A and B are shown apart, each in its own frame.
Chain A
């Protein structure tokens, strides 16, 4: 199982939906495509992980990279991380630097999701 990504932009927020498995191989495939999100200098990045079933340290490093590229002032929200993926985020301390949510913030939930990858 590889990883699937879909990205949508809502004002200054970039929502990235990741599903499948995030390992060193799939992160390598993803990375180039994610660069585009920084052209708009988003103030908020929302990672939707409801359908992500596996995350290796490469996935954690990807999150660190996203936050570092977005800058200290930008917010990183992680929505729907579950089970062992959530455990990995906690074990590696990522939960200290992000907001973990069960569902999308209201302002985003209201926007119809038409994904553009």
Chain B
């Protein structure tokens, strides 16, 4: 288990990705899966920083924990930003994704990429905290064990 607290500012995005990449590599995730997990974490954290903190006039931290369980790699993110119910966000529809670029709505792309990237996504608001779980399930390679 690896945990770290980051300032809730956009400067934290690159160090957070670096940490996730490191942990994913140590766990034996292959390259594409590492990228996808990083992307998903980045999108959630970006949403927290922009909507949960900056636009809401708040400041705070992003708490990140990474651990392995039963062949899966789990990233847990917590923040004390404004509640945002990610489970109810509208994702772009397939029709919207095919529209000419000038007619495209810009919202929802971040969460859409999260859904495309990880095996399991879970989000809840716990009163003063928002919590997100992102899980990459072990495939043919064994996360955390076995010889590579």
Interface presence of A13 (CB below 8 A): no
| Residue numbers in A under 8 Å from B43 (CB-CB) | 56-57
> Which of B10, B99, B101 has its CB near the most chain A CB atoms (within 10 A)?
B101
Given A25-B11, A68-B102, do A60 and B109 touch, yes or no (CB 8 Å)? Answer: yes
The answer to whether A76 and B11 touch across the interface, beta carbons within 8 angstroms, is no
Interface presence of B127 (CB below 8 A): no
B34-48 CB contact bits vs A (8 Å, 1 = yes)?
011011001100100
Interface, chain B (partner A; CB < 8 A): 10-11, 13-14, 17, 32, 35-36, 38-39, 42-43, 46, 49-50, 92, 96-102, 104, 106, 109-110, 112-113, 116
Provide the bound-state CA to CA distance between A98 and B100, in Å.
9
Interface, chain A (partner B; CB < 8 A): 1-2, 21, 23-25, 28, 54, 56-58, 60-61, 63-65, 67-68, 71-72, 76, 84, 88, 91-94, 96-98
The answer to whether B10 and A64 touch across the interface, beta carbons within 8 angstroms, is no
In the complex, the number of residue pairs spanning A and B with C-beta atoms less than 8 Å apart equals 85
Provide the bound-state CA to CA distance between A72 and B112, in Å.
25
B79 smallest CB distance to A (angstroms): 15
